[in-house]
């Protein structure tokens, strides 16, 4: 091939390459050009969002609990910093703010090329000083950013909740969330986030060479809506203090007991209480001990403090997330079912008078052979004394286990006719076994044991032998894992049965209001900045359970007998005027081996027209009559207008 | 006196020939456009970058004039010396402190010398010297064949500096060497069979390089970024997206030279004044401007091939072909990169991109080719393409 021909071949290849470039250029600039031009036009505008002021939170009387204010913050905008100015800026600014230059440089690095980042909020004086020197600090701005102010400190912390930066899950759920904006993490701060947060504003401008050359009209931020809680702050303070004193009482009782050679396993640390209006299901007070100060999350909480608080369950609202056996407080429910459904009595058992519905409460119940491996003799561990023949009224007053065991035994023996799950079904209707739906975070539902559930558990246990077992191994080998003894334990609020203090309170509220089921609420209204109603958070009646007026009246009367003659008599001794108008039920929950009993009391007041249900649990606090009843009495004195008397030891009762 | 005599000997005997004014004019036009584009891309921080480039343009033009006036045939005897110097510099550069993680520059105070740029010119001349017969009797431009031994020598000649440059690392420049080698071997008379074998070897070699991990992580990332341009949107991917946005949004007639509100004005395209200078053309002057720049390069390459066809000997012809291959590769890879059909390899655009060593090596190579034109056969026409 001649040289010239080879050159020509080369020439053709080169022409081909030029054509490819030209064609691609045509495609990019002429075919796709207009679309690309539209997209890039927006790109040259820098967008800066301005945070909105978060809405306030007030209690039911209008007392301000949480508000927001603007505080000065130092912000660096990289758009206005030339690369060669970076080092000097970092040095100067870190010296001015007293922070580590390396840390500041990392913040700078992490912001995008044209990004903004907030260095820290500063005191007004410091802001003034920096403002004076802005000419030497390229890209530095003092901006006003909203900051949350929690006026009541740790009081009501579990209801209010706290803010925090969004985590990965939050961002996945809401991809438009600016990663530097603080959102509600728990409590109403979280549940009502959409109302509280308001709408961010927007500033758009173009920058060249560190100068703003064009601006679009800014969009102003809109403040968030405010919440009005159903909580009464004064009551809340009384309740929180009473729980602390109840814990102290429990520990001093344990200490004295240990000196006498009694065995206690733990130091009492946790407690929870709920006060609810049974007519509206408005929560007047809800507390959990220990608590935390939401203000700590405003400036940023260090990991060690967080871990420490987390360890003590300070962030858990035990009133909605703590699960305890409801123990003898549940006897009021068994009572109601027995009376309303006229549950059959067991036959052919010594100490049972089925005709007159009397039980001989002598501390022991000898059972016929249930053919399922249940113990043949059940001892009342708490009322071993012989208190003679009792009807249901006297049994509730003295919290006689034998009586309510017998009711369950009668149901078990006649399960073919009355249905094995009749008591459990009532419990579920009254809200046990599933979350109540309160407008708070992390609520749990608890367990109502039934044969179906036990069979499910047994199957799961067989399928997953490596997981911790829920049922004793011997049950897996029996014909059915659910025994008659389980129903009997359930009837006195024990066994696998667990519930939250809120569930116990709402179940009593339903009994007290004649059967109306509602969702409990801690927020009553959402209002805008001018005070106009945005949303009324009222709770409709979801269902009405048929409870006859006679049964309701009889229950309320017998709850009154508990505090005048029964297990809470000693605790209510110095209640003062109107003792005959209040009532309640003690409970002492077995927590399991090597743990102390949970102390319970559920109060109802006034008995003639119930306005308050008070549920108190002192976790591993000991006897309900001794520890929890005095705490509840103190709260009920306040509710009924009496001067609350000191929380002192009551009688050691079930 | 001896020196003066030597200068007279080396100086081009002009006879009746004149410089290739089309070549020179195109070069000058592109250089002027380059200054304007560099200014447009850096104007927010002043005229510093443009002024600096103006110095290089001035120096480059002096180099062009000097090279034009030296008889290119003198270089043949200088090949061993020049090769030695350039290899020494390529080794030395690896021992100087890295700038932005690469060892490409030798700092000289007033500017950073990039030996790899001058190595391209030396390799072109050395290849031409190797492939062109020394015996004038055999040096006619007719058909001839190339022995495998010769091809092997040529391969070794590009492989040594190519490897050193790959170590800097500068994959783009190494690839330029490969393209120059293939083009010059083809024009020198390699058979189709030899070409196919060589191309196969290049493909297998590339696969081996990828497989053996001889490329650094960022080079692989750049190749991946070409295939998946949403990858690494902060780094190379970002550069590619902004580059295509700038060019695409220029549309048919561009947004206008030095217009406000362009991505160029806002410096949205990283490294715009160097490797991505074509984005400034595309955005401000549009498709029309971009095609005119392509046309200018086409004219340049056309003149280089014409000069090759009219050279008085094969040595001169091969130099012109080698320079044409170098220009072509730079243009295709650089512009192709900005419009998303070539990987980001860091090859600048001749005469437009900011950079001293590169600009001067380009004018040096055109100066040498102009010398080939000036020394062409006194009776033109015999082997002309035109």
Residues of chain B neighbouring A1 (CB-CB closer than 8 A) = 143, 189
Least confident interval from A627-641, B240-254, B292-306: B240-254
User: Residue A25 and residue B142: Cβ atoms within 8 Å?
Assistant: no
Residues of chain A neighbouring B133 (CB-CB closer than 8 A) = none
Cβ neighbourhood burial of B330 (10 Å; 0-12, 13-18, 19+)? buried
Give residue B384's pLDDT: 41
Least confident interval from A341-355, A401-415, A439-453, B205-219: B205-219
Residues of chain A neighbouring B331 (CB-CB closer than 8 A) = 21
Average pLDDT over chain B reads 86
Cα separation, A443 vs B248, whole angstroms = 55
Same domain, A215 and A239: no
Mapping DSSP to helix (H, G, I), strand (E, B) and coil, where does residue A386 land?
coil
Mutation to test the A interface, candidates B266, B299, B303, most A Cβ within 10 Å: B266
Q: Which residue, A596, A608, A606, is CA-closest to A636?
A: A606
Q: Does A216 touch chain B (CB under 8 A)?
A: no
Same domain, A519 and A454: no
Q: What is the ipTM of this complex?
A: 0.92
Cβ neighbourhood burial of A270 (10 Å; 0-12, 13-18, 19+)? buried
Range of the domain at B192: 2-134+143-374
Residues of chain A neighbouring B195 (CB-CB closer than 8 A) = none
Whether B379 is in a domain gets the answer no
Predicted structure pTM score: 0.69
Whether A534 is in a domain gets the answer no
Same domain, A170 and A272: no
Same domain, A97 and A174: yes
Least confident interval from A437-441, A476-480, B98-102: B98-102
Instruction: For residue A7, give the nearest of B282, B305, B339 by CB distance.
Output: B305
Q: Which residue intervals of A492-621 are DSSP H helices?
A: 501-512, 549-564
Mean pLDDT over residues A151-168, rounded? 92
Same domain, A150 and A204: yes
Q: What distance in Å separates residue A19's CA from the closest CA in chain B?
A: 9
Cα separation, A394 vs A483, whole angstroms = 28
Give residue A327's pLDDT: 96
Mean pLDDT over residues A514-518, rounded? 96
Same domain, A310 and A336: no
β A523-527/A364-366 pair status: unpaired
Domain count, chain A: 3
Whether A621 is in a domain gets the answer yes
User: Residue A44 and residue B308: Cβ atoms within 8 Å?
Assistant: no
Give residue B381's pLDDT: 46
User: Residue A213 and residue B260: Cβ atoms within 8 Å?
Assistant: yes
Whether B170 is in a domain gets the answer yes
Instruction: For residue B249, give the nearest of A14, A17, A36 by CB distance.
Output: A36
Cα separation, A262 vs A254, whole angstroms = 8
Cα separation, B301 vs A143, whole angstroms = 58
Least confident interval from A82-86, B175-179, B357-361: A82-86
pLDDT band at A213 (very low <50, low <70, confident <90, very high): confident
Mapping DSSP to helix (H, G, I), strand (E, B) and coil, where does residue B351 land?
coil
User: Residue A208 and residue B317: Cβ atoms within 8 Å?
Assistant: no
Under a CB-based contact definition with an 8 Å cutoff, are residues B318 and B368 in contact? no
User: Residue B142 and residue A2: Cβ atoms within 8 Å?
Assistant: yes
Under a CB-based contact definition with an 8 Å cutoff, are residues B197 and B151 in contact? no
pLDDT band at B383 (very low <50, low <70, confident <90, very high): very low
Q: What is the CA radius of gyration of chain A?
A: 33
Whether B325 is in a domain gets the answer yes
Q: Which of A196, A229, A262 is the last residue of a domain?
A: A229
Q: Which residues contact B357 (CB under 8 A, 6 or more apart)?
A: B111, B112, B113, B114, B115, B117, B118
- Residue A413: how many other CB atoms lie within 10 Å: 19
Q: Is the pLDDT of residue B16 over 70?
A: no
Least confident interval from A114-128, A568-582, B120-134: A114-128
Cα separation, A631 vs A643, whole angstroms = 14
Q: Which residue, A269, A297, A323, A273, is CA-closest to A160?
A: A297
Least confident interval from A568-582, B100-114, B370-384: B370-384
Question: Which stretch, A34-48, A280-294, B177-191, has highest mean pLDDT?
Answer: A280-294
Phi first, then psi, for residue B310 (nearest 5°) are: -105, 5
Whether A645 is in a domain gets the answer no
Range of the domain at A432: 329-501
- Chain A residue with minimum CA distance to B302: A11
Cα separation, A440 vs A507, whole angstroms = 18
Whether A36 is in a domain gets the answer no
Q: Which residue intervals of A174-316 are DSSP H helices?
A: 187-191, 193-196, 233-259, 296-299, 303-311
Q: Does A45 touch chain B (CB under 8 A)?
A: no
Residues of chain B neighbouring A8 (CB-CB closer than 8 A) = 385
pLDDT band at B168 (very low <50, low <70, confident <90, very high): confident
User: Residue B309 and residue A36: Cβ atoms within 8 Å?
Assistant: no
- Read off the tokens for B351: 């005469």
Q: What is the CA radius of gyration of chain B?
A: 21
User: Residue B263 and residue A21: Cβ atoms within 8 Å?
Assistant: no
Same domain, A174 and A84: yes
Q: Is the pLDDT of residue A96 over 70?
A: yes
pLDDT band at B192 (very low <50, low <70, confident <90, very high): confident
Same domain, A177 and A197: yes
Same domain, A419 and A279: no
Least confident interval from A348-357, B45-54, B201-210: B201-210
Mutation to test the A interface, candidates B248, B270, B377, most A Cβ within 10 Å: B248
Question: Which stretch, A367-371, A424-428, B222-226, has highest mean pLDDT?
Answer: A424-428
Q: Is the pLDDT of residue A566 over 90?
A: yes
Cα separation, A160 vs A226, whole angstroms = 12
Whether B97 is in a domain gets the answer yes
Cα separation, A345 vs A365, whole angstroms = 14
CB within 8 Å of chain B, chain A residues 111-130: none
pLDDT band at B382 (very low <50, low <70, confident <90, very high): very low
Give residue A130's pLDDT: 87
Q: Which residue, A171, A160, A104, A172, is CA-closest to A137?
A: A104
| Higher-scoring residue by pLDDT: A56, A117 | A56
CATH of the domain at A52: 3.90.1310.10
Whether A12 is in a domain gets the answer no
Same domain, A247 and A358: no
pLDDT band at A376 (very low <50, low <70, confident <90, very high): confident
Whether B380 is in a domain gets the answer no
CATH of the domain at A263: 3.40.710.10
Q: Which residue intervals of chain B are DSSP H helices?
A: 2-10, 21-42, 48-68, 75-93, 115-131, 148-167, 171-187, 192-211, 217-227, 236-250, 277-310, 314-338, 356-374
Q: Is the pLDDT of residue A419 over 90?
A: yes
Cα separation, A380 vs A389, whole angstroms = 15
Mapping DSSP to helix (H, G, I), strand (E, B) and coil, where does residue A219 land?
strand
Give residue A166's pLDDT: 86
Give residue B14's pLDDT: 56
Residues of chain B neighbouring A35 (CB-CB closer than 8 A) = 248
Average pLDDT over chain A reads 91
Q: Which of A199, A229, A259 is the last residue of a domain?
A: A229
Q: Is the pLDDT of residue B172 over 90?
A: no
Whether omega before A280 lies within 30 degrees of 0, making that bond cis, reads no
Same domain, A339 and A304: no
| Higher-scoring residue by pLDDT: A273, B6 | A273
Instruction: For residue B249, give the nearest of A21, A37, A213 by CB distance.
Output: A37
Residues of chain A neighbouring B294 (CB-CB closer than 8 A) = 18, 21-22, 25
pLDDT band at B215 (very low <50, low <70, confident <90, very high): low
The DSSP letter of residue B99 is: B
Cα separation, B337 vs B229, whole angstroms = 12
Domain count, chain B: 1
Mutation to test the B interface, candidates A11, A13, A14, A115, most B Cβ within 10 Å: A14
Give residue B376's pLDDT: 82
Residues of chain B neighbouring A207 (CB-CB closer than 8 A) = 266
Cα separation, A369 vs A382, whole angstroms = 24
Instruction: For residue B266, give the nearest of A8, A26, A208 by CB distance.
Output: A208
pLDDT band at A41 (very low <50, low <70, confident <90, very high): confident
Q: What distance in Å separates residue A227's CA from the closest CA in chain B?
A: 42
- Chain B residue with minimum CA distance to A17: B332
Whether B383 is in a domain gets the answer no
Mapping DSSP to helix (H, G, I), strand (E, B) and coil, where does residue B170 land?
coil
Whether B382 is in a domain gets the answer no
User: Residue A29 and residue B245: Cβ atoms within 8 Å?
Assistant: no
- Read off the tokens for B101: 């993680």
Least confident interval from A36-45, B116-125, B267-276: A36-45
Q: Which of A501, A516, A546 is the last residue of a domain?
A: A501
Whether A55 is in a domain gets the answer yes
Whether B80 is in a domain gets the answer yes
- Read off the tokens for B367: 């100066």
Write b or e for each residue in B203-212: b if 16 or more Cβ atoms lie within 10 A of its Cβ, otherwise e: eeeeeeeeee
Give residue B234's pLDDT: 55
- Read off the tokens for A155: 């009081």
Same domain, A238 and A220: no
Q: What distance in Å separates residue A173's CA from the closest CA in chain B?
A: 23
Whether A382 is in a domain gets the answer yes
pLDDT band at B385 (very low <50, low <70, confident <90, very high): very low
Q: Does A34 touch chain B (CB under 8 A)?
A: yes
User: Residue A3 and residue B183: Cβ atoms within 8 Å?
Assistant: no
User: What does the pLDDT look like over B298-330, one tens digit per residue?
Assistant: 999 999 999 999 888 889 999 999 999 999 999
């Amino acid at each position: 091939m001649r040289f010239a021909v080879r050159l020509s071949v080369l020439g053709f290849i080169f022409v081909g390459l030029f054509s490819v470039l030209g064609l691609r250029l045509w495609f990019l600039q002429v075919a796709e050009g207009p679309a690309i031009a539209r997209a890039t036009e927006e790109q040259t505008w820098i967008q800066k969002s301005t945070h909105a002021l978060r809405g306030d939170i007030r209690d039911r009387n209008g007392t301000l609990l949480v508000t927001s204010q603007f505080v000065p913050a130092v912000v660096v905008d990289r758009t206005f910093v030339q690369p060669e100015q970076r080092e000097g800026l970092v040095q100067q600014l870190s010296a001015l703010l007293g922070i580590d230059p390396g840390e500041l440089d990392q913040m700078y690095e992490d912001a995008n090329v044209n990004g903004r980042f907030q260095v820290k909020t500063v005191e007004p004086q410091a802001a003034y000083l920096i403002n004076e020197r802005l000419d030497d600090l390229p890209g530095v701005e003092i901006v006003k950013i909203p900051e949350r102010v929690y006026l009541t400190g740790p009081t009501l912390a579990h209801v209010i909740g706290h803010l925090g930066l969004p985590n990965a899950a939050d961002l996945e759920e809401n991809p438009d969330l600016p990663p530097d904006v603080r959102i509600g993490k728990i409590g109403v701060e979280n549940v009502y986030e959409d109302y509280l947060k308001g709408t961010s504003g927007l500033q758009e401008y173009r920058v060249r060479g560190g100068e703003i050359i064009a601006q679009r009209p800014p969009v102003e931020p809109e403040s968030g809506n405010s919440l009005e809680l159903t909580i009464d702050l004064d009551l809340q303070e009384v309740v929180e203090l009473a729980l602390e004193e109840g814990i102290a009482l429990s520990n001093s009782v344990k200490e004295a007991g240990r000196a006498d050679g009694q065995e206690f396993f733990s130091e009492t640390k946790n407690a929870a209480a709920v006060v609810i209006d049974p007519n509206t299901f408005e929560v007047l007070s809800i507390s959990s001990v220990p608590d935390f100060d939401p203000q700590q999350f405003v400036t940023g909480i260090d990991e060690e403090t967080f871990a420490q608080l987390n360890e003590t369950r300070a962030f858990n609202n035990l009133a909605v997330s703590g699960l305890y056996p409801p123990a003898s407080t549940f006897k009021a429910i068994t009572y109601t079912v027995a009376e309303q459904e006229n549950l059959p009595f067991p036959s052919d058992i010594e100490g049972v008078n089925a005709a007159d519905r009397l039980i001989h409460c002598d501390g022991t119940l000898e059972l016929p052979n249930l053919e399922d491996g249940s113990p043949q003799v059940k001892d009342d561990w708490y009322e071993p004394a012989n208190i003679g023949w009792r009807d249901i009224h006297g049994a509730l007053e003295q919290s006689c286990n034998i009586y309510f065991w017998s009711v369950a035994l009668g149901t078990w023996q006649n399960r073919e006719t009355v249905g094995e799950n009749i008591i459990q079904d009532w419990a579920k209707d009254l809200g046990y076994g599933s979350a109540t739906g309160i407008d708070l975070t992390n609520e749990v539902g608890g367990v109502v044991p039934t044969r179906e559930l036990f069979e499910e558990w047994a199957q799961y246990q067989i399928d997953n032998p490596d997981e911790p077992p829920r049922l004793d191994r011997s049950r897996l080998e029996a014909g059915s894992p659910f025994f008659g003894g389980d129903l009997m334990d359930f009837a006195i609020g024990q066994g696998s049965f667990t519930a939250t203090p809120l569930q116990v309170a709402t179940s009593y509220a339903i009994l007290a209001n004649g059967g109306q089921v509602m969702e409990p609420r801690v927020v009553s209204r959402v209002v805008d900045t001018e005070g106009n109603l945005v949303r009324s958070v009222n709770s409709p009646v979801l269902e009405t359970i048929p409870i006859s007026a006679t049964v309701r009246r009889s229950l309320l009367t017998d709850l009154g007998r508990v505090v005048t003659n029964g297990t809470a008599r000693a605790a209510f001794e110095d209640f003062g005027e109107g003792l005959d108008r209040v009532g309640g039920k003690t409970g002492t929950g077995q927590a399991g081996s090597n743990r102390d009993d949970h102390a319970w009391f559920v109060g109802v007041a006034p008995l003639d027209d119930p306005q308050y249900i008070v549920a108190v649990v002192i976790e591993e606090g000991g006897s309900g009559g001794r520890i929890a009843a005095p705490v509840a009495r103190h709260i009920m004195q306040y509710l009924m207008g009496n001067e609350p008397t000191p929380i002192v030891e009551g009688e050691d009762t079930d | 006196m001896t020196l003066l005599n030597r200068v007279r000997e080396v100086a081009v005997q002009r006879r009746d020939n004149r410089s290739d004014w089309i070549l020179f004019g195109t070069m000058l036009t592109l250089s002027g456009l380059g200054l304007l584009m560099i200014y447009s891309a850096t104007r927010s921080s002043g005229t510093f970058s443009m002024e600096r480039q103006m110095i290089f343009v001035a120096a480059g033009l002096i180099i062009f004039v000097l090279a034009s006036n030296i008889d290119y045939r003198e270089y043949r005897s200088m090949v061993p010396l020049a090769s030695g110097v350039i290899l020494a510099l390529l080794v030395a550069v690896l021992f100087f402190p890295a700038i932005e993680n690469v060892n490409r520059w030798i700092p000289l105070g007033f500017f950073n010398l990039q030996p790899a740029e001058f190595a391209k010119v030396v390799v072109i001349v050395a290849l031409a010297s190797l492939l062109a017969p020394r015996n004038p009797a055999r040096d006619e431009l007719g058909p001839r064949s190339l022995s495998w031994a010769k091809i092997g020598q040529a391969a070794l000649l590009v492989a040594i500096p190519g490897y050193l440059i790959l170590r800097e690392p500068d994959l783009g420049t190494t690839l330029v060497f490969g393209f120059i080698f293939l083009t010059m071997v083809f024009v020198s008379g390699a058979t189709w069979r030899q070409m196919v074998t060589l191309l196969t070897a290049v493909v297998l070699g590339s696969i081996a390089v990828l497989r053996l991990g001889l490329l650094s992580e960022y080079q692989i990332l750049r190749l991946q970024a070409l295939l998946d341009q949403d990858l690494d949107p902060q780094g190379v991917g970002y550069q590619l997206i902004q580059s295509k946005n700038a060019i695409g949004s220029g549309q048919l007639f561009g947004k206008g030279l030095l217009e406000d509100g362009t991505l160029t004005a806002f410096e949205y395209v990283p490294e715009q004044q160097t490797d991505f200078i074509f984005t400034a053309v595309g955005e401000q002057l549009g498709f029309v401007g971009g095609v005119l720049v392509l046309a200018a390069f086409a004219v340049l390459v056309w003149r280089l091939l014409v000069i090759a066809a009219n050279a008085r000997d094969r040595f001169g012809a091969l130099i012109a072909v080698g320079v044409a291959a170098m220009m072509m590769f730079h243009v295709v890879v650089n512009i192709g990169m900005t419009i998303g059909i070539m990987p980001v390899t860091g090859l600048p655009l001749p005469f437009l991109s900011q950079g001293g060593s590169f600009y001067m090596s380009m004018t040096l190579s055109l100066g040498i080719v102009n010398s080939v034109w000036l020394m062409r056969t006194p009776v033109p026409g015999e082997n002309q393409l035109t």
